[in-house]
């Protein structure tokens, strides 16, 4: 009887991978873009699938998740605290970049609580907020050191949003892989990277994300919970470097999985790029909900 159950589980895993592979390849077939995907069950890690999972892809604002973790690690060490007011110069609130923070503090030269900087940076993907946080902890090398210290591979950060805005090629120096981002999300969710308080705070902030309404969340029913971070590049000469979304999905029954989808080198429209992510999200959700508890 035990052998029968074992072989049935193995068969279901193989079928899971085949079916999800079939659907993802159908979704991406014919698209003038490269799509990298890594999806893995947190409860049953043997259930996973990847497409171009080891490909180096530009992170764009997905790296704000990594930046926030590096800052919160300093909070855990007592270097900062969430209610601490951080001096922000007017020159740090740059014009011409996505920044709801700039809209709230148009003149600058303000003292902004760290918790507010983190919330704007993660939940609203504020570009100025990201650069202020990088400055606060001592530069992009500090983010890199935190990630490396956690034995997370295939991640590189060379600079913040202002650095990426300097020229088109700089964005490609902030890269990771779908496999790495998914594994990082799982380790974060399992509490391996931050204290329980910091994990809970950042998770709740990721759940409150307001960007990417046509991406991962568009492929999920309302009863699912998504904690995620998006990233987007500009388009140059008809080429979009990055349309990204990566997150954690909690099913209505409490089971969970991590999923990262990166659409890169795309000659498709924004609507098509986002629909690829939404359709892959829907396919992954359908397969995970079809799997029974072990």
Catalytic residues: 61, 161
Q: How many whole angstroms separate alpha carbon 24 and alpha carbon 54?
A: 16
Which tokens in the block code for residue 286? Answer: 């359908």
Q: How many whole angstroms separate alpha carbon 253 and alpha carbon 224?
A: 9
Pairing of strands 239-250, 256-266: antiparallel
Q: How many whole angstroms separate alpha carbon 62 and alpha carbon 188?
A: 14
Q: How far is CA 240 from CA 11, 164, 236, 243, in A?
A: 39, 14, 7, 8
Q: How far is CA 116 from CA 15, 27, 137, 192, 205, in A?
A: 45, 38, 16, 24, 11
- Write b or e for each residue in 117-131: b if 16 or more Cβ atoms lie within 10 A of its Cβ, otherwise e: bbbbbbbbbbbbbbb
Q: Chain-centre distance of CA 32, in angstroms?
A: 23
Which tokens in the block code for residue 197? Answer: 């308080």
Question: Of the candidates 78, 25, 81, which has an alpha carbon nearest to the alpha carbon of residue 50?
Answer: 25
């Amino acid at each position: 009887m035990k052998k029968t159950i074992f072989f049935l589980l193995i068969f279901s895993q193989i079928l899971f991978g085949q079916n999800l592979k079939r659907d993802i390849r159908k979704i991406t077939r014919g698209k003038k873009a490269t799509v990298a995907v890594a999806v893995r069950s947190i409860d049953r890690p043997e259930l996973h699938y990847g497409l171009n999972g080891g490909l180096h892809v530009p992170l764009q604002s997905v790296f704000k998740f990594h930046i926030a973790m590096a800052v919160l690690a300093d909070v855990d060490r007592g270097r900062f605290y969430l209610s601490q007011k951080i001096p922000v110069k007017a020159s740090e609130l740059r014009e011409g970049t996505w920044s709801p923070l700039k809209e709230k503090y148009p003149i600058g030269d303000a003292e902004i609580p760290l918790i507010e900087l983190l919330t704007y940076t993660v939940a609203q993907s504020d570009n100025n907020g990201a650069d202020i946080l990088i400055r606060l902890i001592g530069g992009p090398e500090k983010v890199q050191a935190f990630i490396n210290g956690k034995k997370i591979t295939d991640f590189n950060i060379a600079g913040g949003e202002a650095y990426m805005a300097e020229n088109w090629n700089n964005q490609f120096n902030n890269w990771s892989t779908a496999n790495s981002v998914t594994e990082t999300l799982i380790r974060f969710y399992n509490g391996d990277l931050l204290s329980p308080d910091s994990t809970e705070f950042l998770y709740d902030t990721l759940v409150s994300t307001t960007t990417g309404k046509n991406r991962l969340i568009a492929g999920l029913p309302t009863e699912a919970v998504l904690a995620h971070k998006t990233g987007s590049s500009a388009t140059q000469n008809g080429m979009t470097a990055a349309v990204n979304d990566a997150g954690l999905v909690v099913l209505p029954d409490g089971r969970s999985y991590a999923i990262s989808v990166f659409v890169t080198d795309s000659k498709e429209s924004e609507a098509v790029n986002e629909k690829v992510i939404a359709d892959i999200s829907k396919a992954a959700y359908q397969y995970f909900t079809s799997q029974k508890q072990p």
